[in-house]
Structure 1
Amino acid sequence: MVAVLGGVLLTSSGCGFLDDLADPEAREPAATSAPTTSPSSPPPLAPPAPAFEPGVVAQAALIADGRSIGTLRVATGAVQTGLVLPFPEFDEDCPVEGPSMQYVAVGFSFTLQAEGGLAGHLTVAPGPSTPADIGEVGVFFEPSYGNDEYCTDGPRLPDTDTFWARGTTSVTGYVVLDDAVGPATPQGRTEVFATLQAQVSDLRLRDDDGEETPLTLGPPSVGVVCPDDEGAFCVPLG
């Protein structure tokens, strides 16, 4: 007979053993000629796997014309300090220097049961508790075909960038603090990321001919939909 009590797996050949556990005084202990050694407790069972991997901040169905056509999951990475973004176009086109930077990667993974690719925007703005002296905040997506141009609107970093994921089920954006590391903050300003307001919006299905179908979001299983836009996620960055 096998039973589980108090989180420990118990095995016995008869029910009297379990009755004794329920009522310790029901039986006198059997006499023994020598002390016995209690068997060692079994190792604790591993905790159940989490429903989602650490870092997932949003997940919901993608809805087109009232029906679900896939899912979208958004995850954030750890803050990276003193590094430029991991593609050369950024360093070549933008007025930034790696030693002063911090960034957080924002990963999008999705499934689609429709022709075309997923397109959308990632926008970041200072929140009510964001310090006024953080410098510029920029948003960039990895290049789609290795020939994208960055920082085309002048010296300021863009606070919105757009993606169109074709032939793939994932894409990565980056939120950048340009002047995070300095004499007064040699370790950077990691705490600032949690104060920023990030929004994933303008989601749409886009085909190779440029035809677009607007998408909304189903009830999220992780995260929250923005209160003023049922087709947008408001996501934390820290």
Structure 2
Amino acid sequence: MEIRPLTPEEQKYTYAQSMQLEGQTGCIGHLRGDFADSGYGFYTTWFDHRAQWKTDEFKAELDTVINELREDKGLLHNRYDMRAFARRYPVSAFQGNYCTEYGFRADTEKHAFLFRCNPTRDDYNFYCYCYVKEWLDRHIGRTEQGIRFIDSGYKELFRIPDGGKIIITSAWGEKTELACRYIDETHTEVGNNLFHICEFAERMERNGATYEPKPPEQPQSQKTPKHKNYER
């Protein structure tokens, strides 16, 4: 089995998605795990997303992937081997919600397994998001065109990359930053809301608001990880 670092475009799919994106990408569910305080334990919890795709074939493939990565020196062997594995692939590092994390992908014939790893004590050490491979890759390919923003006359104003942010300025000058996700050529999520791009433009015009792309953010400095209570 081949395992490789995630591309920047794949990294965002190692976090929870909206129901719309789960359907678009074929997200079956995710596995969360940790190595206990010692670094040598192995505790996992499974979360269904779209249980109708959790076939016997998928379950067998998931077991195979996890068991192979549990072998000596593998990514999931223990917390210390995870840290050493990640260091061998510096390109796998990316800024997570509060610390540097490491992303890897393993594929079977029909499924894709995307890992987000954090070899830190007193935290969950990995999440494995599981997808129908064909659906995930097709969706990621389509996001390359970016998210279109138009005016109410359907004139294109700008595009931002999937996961980029816009700044909305209200009629009274209040500014709000919202992250956006690509759904398809004419639909996008702005914050927690799904819009047709024309619907969004008309609503902003009706409210007297303007919107513009936010420049890409600079990487943040690493923050101290939060403590968590283990769930067994």
Q: Please say whether Structure 1 and Structure 2 have the same fold, judged by a TM-score greater than 0.5.
A: no
Structure having the higher helix fraction is 2
TM class by smaller structure: under 0.3
**Larger radius of gyration between Structure 1 and Structure 2:** 1
